[in-house]
Structure 1
Amino acid sequence: MKRIMICALIGATGLGLSGCNDSNGSSNDNPPATNPIPGFIQGDIQHTQYDGVTDDLLTAGMGATGLGSPTAPTFSDALNPSPSELRRLAIYNNYRALVDTSAGGGYGEFFGPSVGIGTEGMIPGHEYIAFMAVPGSDVPVTVMAQIPDSFDQSSPCMITAPSSGSRGVYGAIGTAGEWGLKKGCAVVYTDKGSGTGSHNLKSNTAQRIDGTLTTGDEPVQFRADLTDTERGDFSALWPDRLAWKHAHSKANPEADWGQHVLQSIEFGFWALNKQFGSDSNAITPLNTLVIASSVSNGGGSSVRAAEQDINGLIDGVAVSEPNVNPVMDTSFTIVQGTSTAISEHSRSLLEYTTALAVYQGCANQAPVIRDNAPLNALNAEQVRENICNSLFNKGLVTGADTDARATDAQRILNQDFGIQPEQNLLAPVHFASKVAQSISMTYANAYGRAGVEDRVCGLSFAATDSAGTVTPFTDAGEAAAFAVSNGIPPTAGVDIIYDDAEGQPTALPASVSPSSSQIDYGLDALLCLHSLALGRDAITGDALTGADATLASAIAEGIEDIRATGNLRGKPAVFVTGRADAILPINHASRPYYGLNQRVEGTASQLRYYEVLNAHHLDILNQFAGIGDRYVPLHHYYFQALDLVWERLTNGTELPPSQVVRTTPRGDIATPLAESNLPEIAAQPADGDLILLVDSELRIPE
């Protein structure tokens, strides 16, 4: 049956990889040599070979030492960086954004390009990169295949590496990319229709696939859907604004993330057969081990690909902290230890993230948070108090003073929105980094398929000065944006602007809300986004009206389009997630997905869920005192997940049962991590560590 389905895929997509000419699935002794470019590819395919000495696939010639260095590579001409310079800096920044490369944090010991190789980890091979599109859309999506010279044609393997977050095509280079390339597998990447594409509405400047800039009529990563007249009229009213691909493509790219990954696999097979294929030695889905992988949004994309994989392209799944929005299944609750059961799990990313954007700034002032949370000083105390005052005046928190109001804000997040208390001490640094604020704006636009011209909730993107005033994007900043952007402003010198702020358009952190005349982090705008996510007025609870109701309805439809089904089609799969995840709260992502999967697949399920104590979403933060001494790198367990799935697929080794993994923090950031801090995922965990769905309860040990 699998062979018949694969043959149907080959015929339908034009892969032309092997003979499939009889209905019983037997192979053709002389498969055709055709290897047509997949029909979803747009324009040219760029092919580059790297020697592994001057440049390479994994480290862009920097090696493990260069990636670990705090000194970033530079451009020979800051205004006109070359494609290779942009690629090198993009790989440097994307690698270090997800992996803690500080001394003692595990880099070079438990993970890193040199680990297991004994060299600088520079990997020679071939890189193919192109634009593609999904059916029904003309928005360019970047796809890339890397084929290391160590690829074994007699035992072919492929790893998917969709980008984490909204990053560009190199966004998973240090996660799935590193593991796969060191394993000798082809690695296929995609930016998932988000990526670094920015469009300067004043100059009409956009980025080519290699990050260089152009104002010409040629293929680019993204330009807003505006005529020259419309663009000029908008710029006259709102000068120096930028459109960003994820937020403003009007495509809701997340709805197609699974298809982006499946297409990247097809592109990978095309590249492999261009490199190695012949009449007698075609590389096909039938003879290739394929693991769908990556972290965060990339992990969620690979999960969706596995759910949608009707043709059996994917053999297994190994993901870390996946951004999954599971279909709500009210037939089970989530219970951690003896805590109160959580029945309202599986809230959407936009609902809980806009709640964090609204309440977290105030919660940062709660005494238990203020006095214990690392890096909380990055949030100005006066602004925290102003947010609390504004929330109180709107009837959204209670309390006689700021301490009481902040404590109530924290209660609302933990009790009303089901956010784990284990994330509370990390949430302040995420708020200071504008994580919830940026996700709230970008995803509200994306889910509602809004354009830059709509300025949802009075918000836009622009460069600013130190006071938060809108300024033109500098030439040097724009030239480097491809290499330094994470795809979701604030990034690369571009901030979120509250156009409707009192006084003048101002960067959100410094903006004054019209309803309060206080610098309260543009709370009016954040409440507007929260209202759109809730589908009702966040203050009064009343139904939205007019354009707000229309947009909220479109957003709700967009959210339904991205819901995960929980059906992994019986594929061996591993999720690893940190209990202290302060970006994707586990009661709305990994935990309920596991419960849903158990309901949907039952005894056929091969999904295992490993919840790691003292681990969180962004390992990069572990380099800071107060964080690195309390938390361990989840990245280490992500690589274990890949190892476990590999062993399952190649040797038939059983996956360990779902469990809580009890790590031991260092206690002092000056003390290097040791094996004693990072216990292995247990093949036979203690009964008290097992994660189980029992009747109507998903039981998570303390």
Structure 2
Amino acid sequence: MKRTVLCALIGASAVALTACNDNNGKKPINFVPDFVQGDIQQTSYDGVTDDLLTAGLGASGLAGAAPAFDDPLNPTPAELRKLAIYNNYRALVDTSAAGGYGTFFGPQVGADGEGLIAGDEFIAYMSVPGTDVPVTVMAQVPDSFNAEQPCMVTAPSSGSRGIYGAIGTAGEWGLKKGCAVVYTDKGTGTGSHNLETNAAQRIDGTLTDGDEAVQFRADLTDEQRADFNSQSPDRFAWKHAHSKANPEADWGRHVLQSIEFGFYVLNEKFGRELGTEAVLRTITPDNTLVIASSISNGGGASVRAAEQDTDGLIDGVAVSEPNVNPVVDRSFTIVQGDGPVISEHSRSLLDYTTALAVYQGCANQASVNAAAPYNFNNAEIGANICAALAEKNLLDVEPGATLEEQAADALRILNDVYGIQPEQNPLAPIHFLINVPQSISVTYANAYARAGVEDRVCNLSFAATLPLLDTISNPGALTQLTAEGEAALFATSNGIPPTGGVNIVYDDAEGQPTNLAGSTSPGAAGKDYGLEALLCLRSLAQGTDAETGAALEGEQAELAAAIAEGIEAVRASGDLQGKPTVFVTGRADAILPINHTSRPYFGLNQKVEGDNSNLRYYEVLNAHHLDVLNGLRFPLAIPGIGGDLVPGLVDTYVPLHHYYFQALDLVWANLTEGEALPPSQVVRTTPRGDVATPLSSDNLPDIAAEPVPADLIVFEDNQVRIPD
């Protein structure tokens, strides 16, 4: 019941009114926040057969083989939840023992047995003003929660993941501390809509084609959907791309609402006082320690929440590799060591990602990338991309240039023009192989434009496709997603295809609609990864024709203008309102390049807050965005089950996850014990250098309380200065 209704029901007595209005020191009555849609589902977990953190799998289960469904066509909500937690945990954390799992992090570290955590889980839909697209919110309250010393940690999903997307990061740390953990999928998540069958996912992940609450359905009438299907059968709409909501613009509000939801849940559990029938708000922001946290997109969402927090909900912030698009302020520059001065920082996510989508396929062929780990990109397609870029005068090479010259220039453009640090180069090929820049470009172009699936931005869509193998006819051609695959999407997919068997399709590919990765642009000499579609996305991102530099016209101009407006709506202000805040970022982050995210945000914050800033920035050497790659094995196999660790990953990089937990510990100590946050600094880790050598504390030095001067990151004379 809403507050006003509840107050009316309990009567107009002086006591009742003061309780409702919080006058004269009386505690207000607890009420369901206005933004909650529908019912709140509650489930209790005993910590023995099932639990909050591992879904009953325990630490060893998370490191082992994936749990199976009894009936793959009809998985139960509990089975979907278990597999979702398994996949989301492992998507972010290296679960190999040699990589630190079980020693530096993991459910079993600092816990009894397998690390199962008993408690209650509350889940519901919510919305923000201006849109009715459902956003999932969840609160987990461990049995160890102490209502006399309440604490809360935010866990918005990383990437575009679903509600359990931050279970292994902010979720694990917060639950172990005995804090309530509040999650949100931020309006992204796993919401898929099969346009052919009208099937969509309920909040528990099960499928329905009925008229009931679901995570997402495209904004199409039955007639419009039928017309779409007649032209383009077997397509999917996806929540992040096609909700017409630009969810990123509201990520901060989603996190703030999740905190309010957390307070409602906590007071429902602990707010009853003797002699009263009403549930009172005894746990409040005034007596509860709240840390806004998470990683990647979730970290960016918590940063935006801290900037927008006008009600004092958040006490501190601890994030890792946050996806922030800082307001562009070119009055300051960035320099690393004696390297070049970078003034063109703070490019938007769509700007630098579309550049990677266009140029990286060619750059993969450069000789310096020959030894890049998992650079298994198709050499023939890479050569075709290089040749096409050269023909379009998008490379600064002479006519008749060799493939090496073309590829080297593509890499130069990414480094010198778009600010990609050389430390990020070795990881870019594997990210291209697994479609990271391509998938982000497609999804975010649609989201920023508030486009619908029917708009077919750059003639790209989502569908299942045949394998990209030469041994079958029509490789990459459309097919139907299997019923078993669709039934499992809640647990196996994230919010950015390719995922869960659904791929990016280039509808305008030569011959027929084809998986983008195996497609040929119209009129091209051979497969070129749908370069024309990628150039179309690049044009929309930069606002002019990517080939000629000419102004866009017609529908393309309208889309580009909408995208530019959408990007401005997600820009971060840099004003953290003096909250104690820690950023940790890996220098080798090849997904969210540091010259456009953490580094310029640090500089912007210094400009905005000056001496009032409490932001600390820790840049970790030999660390990158996806720790899970560190445990990758070849042939591809489940860590701990088979295969050999991939050289160049396991022996070269350390887990950033370890330093994310340190960031949370530092903010906690600052808020609870008054311990000063260490100065901003470079953290000099030592890679293992040998795939057979487990990580030890020698590889992972602590963030220094008093770093040597040569390691300090400073802002001086309008410049962010980063030591080599």
Match of 1:161 among 129, 152, 155: 155
Match of 1:143 among 137, 147, 160: 137
Matched residue SS, 1:144: strand
Amino acid at match of 2:411: Q
Residue 656 to residue 21, structure 1, CA distance change in 2 (3 Å): farther
**Residue 423, structure 1, aligned to residue 424, structure 2:** yes
Q: In 2, Cα distance between the equivalents of 1:266 and 1:103?
A: 38
Matched residue SS, 1:268: helix
Residue 421 to residue 12, structure 1, CA distance change in 2 (3 Å): farther
Give the aligned partner of residue 73 of structure 2: 79
Matched residue SS, 1:636: helix
User: Does the aligned pair in 2 maintain the 1:490–1:496 contact within 8 Å?
Assistant: yes
User: Does the aligned pair in 2 maintain the 1:334–1:698 contact within 8 Å?
Assistant: yes
**Residue 641, structure 1, aligned to residue 663, structure 2:** yes
Match of 2:539 among 512, 528, 531: 531
Match of 2:126 among 112, 122, 132: 132
Give the aligned partner of residue 3 of structure 1: none
Q: In 1, Cα distance between the equivalents of 2:703 and 2:687?
A: 16
Q: Write the deviation string for residues 267-301 of structure 1: whole angstroms up to 9, x where unpaired.
A: 00010011111247711111000000000000000
**Residue 544, structure 1, aligned to residue 544, structure 2:** no
Q: Alpha-carbon deviation of 1:697?
A: 1.1
Give the aligned partner of residue 7 of structure 1: none
Give the aligned partner of residue 557 of structure 1: 565
User: Does the aligned pair in 2 maintain the 1:535–1:552 contact within 8 Å?
Assistant: yes
Q: Alpha-carbon deviation of 1:153?
A: 0.6
Matched residue SS, 2:356: helix
Q: In 2, Cα distance between the equivalents of 1:277 and 1:690?
A: 46
**Residue 243, structure 1, aligned to residue 245, structure 2:** no
Amino acid at match of 2:378: A
Give the aligned partner of residue 593 of structure 1: 601
Q: Alpha-carbon deviation of 1:628?
A: 1.1
Aligned pairs (5 A) from 1:358-373: 358-370=358-370, 372-373=371-372
Give the aligned partner of residue 461 of structure 1: 462
Residue 298 to residue 12, structure 1, CA distance change in 2 (3 Å): farther
Residue 497 to residue 12, structure 1, CA distance change in 2 (3 Å): farther
Q: Alpha-carbon deviation of 1:330?
A: 1.0
Q: Write the deviation string for residues 381-410 of structure 1: whole angstroms up to 9, x where unpaired.
A: 111111111111111114411110000000
Q: In 2, Cα distance between the equivalents of 1:391 and 1:136?
A: 42
Instruction: Note the aligned Cα RMSD (angstroms).
Output: 1.8
Matched residue SS, 1:629: coil
**Residue 509, structure 1, aligned to residue 503, structure 2:** no
Matched residue SS, 1:44: strand
Matched residue SS, 1:350: helix
Q: In 1, Cα distance between the equivalents of 2:223 and 2:42?
A: 37
Aligned pairs (5 A) from 1:253-332: 253-279=247-273, 282-332=282-332
Q: In 1, Cα distance between the equivalents of 2:523 and 2:327?
A: 37
Matched residue SS, 1:319: strand
User: Does the aligned pair in 2 maintain the 1:13–1:39 contact within 8 Å?
Assistant: no
Give the aligned partner of residue 661 of structure 1: 683
Q: Alpha-carbon deviation of 1:11?
A: 9.7
User: Does the aligned pair in 1 maintain the 2:84–2:490 contact within 8 Å?
Assistant: yes
Aligned pairs (5 A) from 1:216-255: 216-255=210-249
Matched residue SS, 1:328: coil
User: Does the aligned pair in 1 maintain the 2:174–2:180 contact within 8 Å?
Assistant: yes
Amino acid at match of 1:206: A
Q: Write the deviation string for residues 590-621 of structure 1: whole angstroms up to 9, x where unpaired.
A: 00000000000000000000000000000000
Amino acid at match of 1:232: A
Q: Write the deviation string for residues 53-96 of structure 1: whole angstroms up to 9, x where unpaired.
A: 01000000000010011x10000000000000000000000000
Matched residue SS, 1:36: coil
Match of 1:679 among 701, 707, 721: 701
Q: In 1, Cα distance between the equivalents of 2:522 and 2:273?
A: 70
Matched residue SS, 1:121: coil
Q: Alpha-carbon deviation of 1:528?
A: 0.2
Q: Alpha-carbon deviation of 1:670?
A: 1.2
User: Does the aligned pair in 2 maintain the 1:334–1:342 contact within 8 Å?
Assistant: yes
**Residue 47, structure 1, aligned to residue 42, structure 2:** yes
Q: In 1, Cα distance between the equivalents of 2:261 and 2:115?
A: 26
Q: In 2, Cα distance between the equivalents of 1:180 and 1:20?
A: 36
Q: Alpha-carbon deviation of 1:26?
A: 9.7
Q: Alpha-carbon deviation of 1:20?
A: 13
Give the aligned partner of residue 337 of structure 2: 337
Match of 1:31 among 23, 27, 40: 27
User: Does the aligned pair in 1 maintain the 2:97–2:103 contact within 8 Å?
Assistant: no
Residue 13 to residue 262, structure 1, CA distance change in 2 (3 Å): farther
Aligned pairs (5 A) from 1:8-23: none
Give the aligned partner of residue 615 of structure 1: 623
Amino acid at match of 1:629: D
User: Does the aligned pair in 2 maintain the 1:502–1:517 contact within 8 Å?
Assistant: no
Give the aligned partner of residue 654 of structure 2: 632
Q: Normalising to structure 2: TM-score of the pair?
A: 0.93
User: Does the aligned pair in 1 maintain the 2:291–2:314 contact within 8 Å?
Assistant: yes
Give the aligned partner of residue 277 of structure 2: none
Q: Alpha-carbon deviation of 1:136?
A: 1.0
Give the aligned partner of residue 375 of structure 2: 376
Amino acid at match of 2:701: P
Q: In 1, Cα distance between the equivalents of 2:347 and 2:238?
A: 26
Q: Alpha-carbon deviation of 1:118?
A: 3.4
User: Does the aligned pair in 2 maintain the 1:20–1:26 contact within 8 Å?
Assistant: no
User: Does the aligned pair in 2 maintain the 1:469–1:505 contact within 8 Å?
Assistant: yes
User: Does the aligned pair in 2 maintain the 1:21–1:28 contact within 8 Å?
Assistant: no
Give the aligned partner of residue 638 of structure 2: none
Runs of 4+ residues deviating >6 angstroms: 10-14, 19-22
Q: Alpha-carbon deviation of 1:339?
A: 0.7
Q: Alpha-carbon deviation of 1:28?
A: 4.7
Matched residue SS, 1:637: helix
Residue 471 to residue 608, structure 1, CA distance change in 2 (3 Å): same
Q: In 2, Cα distance between the equivalents of 1:365 and 1:28?
A: 72
Q: Alpha-carbon deviation of 1:13?
A: 13
Q: In 2, Cα distance between the equivalents of 1:142 and 1:211?
A: 12
Q: In 1, Cα distance between the equivalents of 2:681 and 2:501?
A: 42
User: Does the aligned pair in 2 maintain the 1:60–1:88 contact within 8 Å?
Assistant: yes
Matched residue SS, 2:326: coil
**Residue 472, structure 1, aligned to residue 480, structure 2:** yes
| Count of aligned residue pairs for this structure pair | 685
Matched residue SS, 2:419: coil
Give the aligned partner of residue 446 of structure 2: 445
Give the aligned partner of residue 6 of structure 1: none
Matched residue SS, 2:138: strand
Q: Which runs of 5 or more residues in structure 2 are unaligned?
A: 8-14, 275-280, 468-474, 633-645
Give the aligned partner of residue 5 of structure 1: none
User: Does the aligned pair in 2 maintain the 1:258–1:306 contact within 8 Å?
Assistant: yes
Residue 576 to residue 13, structure 1, CA distance change in 2 (3 Å): farther
Q: In 2, Cα distance between the equivalents of 1:208 and 1:409?
A: 45
Structure 1 vs Structure 2: percent identity of aligned residues?
70
Q: In 1, Cα distance between the equivalents of 2:5 and 2:257?
A: 13
